[in-house]
Structure 1
Amino acid sequence: MRIGVLGPLEVVADGRAVDVGGFRLRALLIRLALDAGSVVPARALARALWPDEGPDNPGPALHSLVSRLRRALPGRGLVRSEPAGYLLDVSREGVDVARFERLAREGQRALRAGRPEAALPSLDGALGLWRGEPLADVAVLPFAASAAVRLEELRLGAAEDRIEAGLATGRRPPGAVAELEQLVAAHPLRERLRDLLMRTLAAHGRQAEALAAFEAYRKLLAAELGTGPGPHLRELHLTL
């Protein structure tokens, strides 16, 4: 069975989509999937599912929800009861979050080791797993919101690494500038993105735009933080 949470919840078993209906039921499955193969304490599950005002006695309510989830999933043994809590008996690689994190790490290690060609397939694979906003079905729950922030940061780092690897190998995809401009708009103070945007523009022969991007960043930092670009970006500016 494969479970996808890097977008709307997606459950596939034997090549067929499995419908898991009900907000709490999806929340329970997603919370268990984030720690697939490991026991999640019952108390932690109850806090995740009922962060504000939950049932007076959450134990039976949680047990009932687990029973419903077992009926919804193919194979009753996928959600196991343990002395300390509950376990989703699916391999870590069966959940897209775990595959994304592994591939992103592999790509990052290869890039840092000076092997950008080897980094690109891993980074492409990692980012290709994303289908939308992470944990979208239960984004209002605190556990999902905090996990989504962490995953979005990892996604941004993987996107930066992929662009870095592309520059190092001379790969110039036509959409690279547009992708970077979108990322810069979403994270205007992130210096690595400005560095990548300037270098990508220069690689496409757009030197004047690269210099203009530096000037725009310099003015933004002065206005927002009362500071200026770091030494690496200033050196890049002089080089260009």
Structure 2
Amino acid sequence: MSFAVLGPLEVRSCGEKVEIAGQRLRALLGLLLLDAGRPVPIDRLVAGVWGDRPPVAVANALQALVSRLRAALGERRGLVEVRADGYRLAVEPDRVDAHRFARLTAEGRAALAAGLPAEAAGALRAALALWRGPALADLAGNEVVAASLARLDTLRLTALEERIETDLLLGREAEAAAELPALIAAHPLRERLRGQLMRALYGSGRHVEALAAFEEARETFARELGADPSPALSELHLAMLRRERLGNETRPASPRPGFPRPGFPRPHPGFPRPHPGFRTAPFFRCGSRLRTGVHPGLRLRPVSSDSPRPGRSSRCRTRGPATCGRGSPASSAGSTTWPA
């Protein structure tokens, strides 16, 4: 037997729908299902079924209602158990869609935190597919279950945000950009949705619209709350103005060929380029200074331990037509000097 509360209350046994007739009977079953497997105090059951107008003999009335519920469950009537502090529906939590939804959502969030967006997307989509409408829609207005229903609605919205996050990480920006405006219209102060819309538009190449989405969020927050966007949303906006990568991808792209690696400056256009026969231009000693020269006909020998020291010789240890004098090829063809 399975029970569904993520929508109108529904009970199925062997694939067949079990009829639960009467508002009070459905309220009693709904209260037991929200705490499936755990005892529900009698005071909570009475308040949830009759509100602030309980009958005179409320204990007898509750027992009679429990008997009706057992009769409706038929062969599974033993699922409703009596405890010292109330009643308990003895079913596994996974038999109730609300508890199954909470488990799948937790699995999806764990997979997303572990860097597995594909697995997270599968779990989160399965969790969201359990919803058939507002939770316990036929108990709307019941103050006792209102807190539990609000918690379920919040979990649903959070799971939806996590699923959209997996879409962005998997490169589905266009689908996310089409889905998010309706969600933002329903939850205009939900900042995470605003940021996800900006990222979806930016990742789809719609940069101007992404910047406009930030301006709309800023104006809404100022009008409704008198507050500015969070630092995280403002930093996202600044990154878009700079045309930076947003990291929606699961792994960073490799640098473009021909460009220096991160951390290495681009050489100045006027800096001399080495001769095709040399990989680097080694240092050589000239008097009391170290020089490096790049000249098509210059062949340099690196300084070794037996090189002349300053003051003992002023000649460069080179091979080729270059010398160290002023106006020599080594000194005039784009050479650079450093103190020894």
TM-score range relative to shorter protein: over 0.9
The residue that corresponds to 2:280 in the other structure is none
Distance 1:171 1:177, change over 3 A: closer
C-alpha contact 2:165 2:196 (8 A) present in aligned 1: yes
SS at match of 1:52: coil
- Where does 1:171-190 land on structure 2 (aligned, <5 Å)? 171-172=172-173, 174=175, 176-190=176-190
Residue 123 of structure 1, CA deviation: 0.4
Alpha-carbon distance in 2 for matches of 1:173, 1:77: 51
Alpha-carbon distance in 1 for matches of 2:227, 2:93: 44
Extract unaligned runs of 5+ from structure 2: 241-340
Residue 173 of structure 1, CA deviation: 6.2
Residue 57 of structure 1, CA deviation: 2.4
Which residue identity is paired with 1:185? A
- Where does 1:81-100 land on structure 2 (aligned, <5 Å)? 81-100=82-101
User: After the TM superposition, which of the residue ranges 115-124 and 63-72 deviates more from structure 2?
Assistant: 115-124
C-alpha contact 1:218 1:228 (8 A) present in aligned 2: yes
1:125-176 deviation per Cα after TM superposition (whole angstroms, max 9, x unaligned) = 11010000111111121122221111111001000000011111223463x3
C-alpha contact 1:32 1:87 (8 A) present in aligned 2: yes
SS at match of 1:86: strand
Alpha-carbon distance in 1 for matches of 2:219, 2:33: 44
More relative contact order, 1 or 2 (CA 8 Å, 6+ apart)? 1
The total of aligned residue pairs comes to: 239
Larger radius of gyration: 2
- Where does 1:186-225 land on structure 2 (aligned, <5 Å)? 186-225=186-225
Which residue identity is paired with 1:73? L
1:3-54 deviation per Cα after TM superposition (whole angstroms, max 9, x unaligned) = 1110011111111111101000000111001111111122221122122111
1:73-109 deviation per Cα after TM superposition (whole angstroms, max 9, x unaligned) = 1322121122221111211000000000011111112
C-alpha contact 2:211 2:237 (8 A) present in aligned 1: yes
Alpha-carbon distance in 1 for matches of 2:137, 2:238: 43
Distance 1:54 1:90, change over 3 A: same
Alpha-carbon distance in 1 for matches of 2:222, 2:87: 52
Alpha-carbon distance in 1 for matches of 2:103, 2:112: 14
Judging by fraction of residues, say which structure has more helix. 1
User: After the TM superposition, which of the residue ranges 57-66 and 36-45 deviates more from structure 2?
Assistant: 36-45
Alpha-carbon distance in 2 for matches of 1:144, 1:70: 22
The residue that corresponds to 1:115 in the other structure is 116
Alpha-carbon distance in 2 for matches of 1:92, 1:173: 37
Alpha-carbon distance in 2 for matches of 1:84, 1:208: 61
Alpha-carbon distance in 2 for matches of 1:224, 1:29: 40
Distance 1:184 1:59, change over 3 A: same
The residue that corresponds to 1:6 in the other structure is 6
Which residue identity is paired with 1:138? L
Extract unaligned runs of 5+ from structure 1: none
SS at match of 1:73: helix
Alpha-carbon distance in 2 for matches of 1:204, 1:10: 42
TM, length-normalised to structure 1: 0.95
Alpha-carbon distance in 1 for matches of 2:56, 2:182: 46
TM, length-normalised to structure 2: 0.68
C-alpha contact 1:120 1:165 (8 A) present in aligned 2: yes
Alpha-carbon distance in 1 for matches of 2:85, 2:228: 52
Alpha-carbon distance in 2 for matches of 1:204, 1:22: 51
Alpha-carbon distance in 2 for matches of 1:61, 1:223: 52
Alpha-carbon distance in 2 for matches of 1:182, 1:10: 29
Residue 215 of structure 1, CA deviation: 0.4
Residue 204 of structure 1, CA deviation: 2.3
- Where does 1:139-178 land on structure 2 (aligned, <5 Å)? 139-172=140-173, 174=175, 176-178=176-178
Alpha-carbon distance in 1 for matches of 2:203, 2:19: 47
Alpha-carbon distance in 1 for matches of 2:173, 2:78: 48
Alpha-carbon distance in 2 for matches of 1:234, 1:138: 41
Alpha-carbon distance in 1 for matches of 2:53, 2:84: 25
The residue that corresponds to 1:105 in the other structure is 106
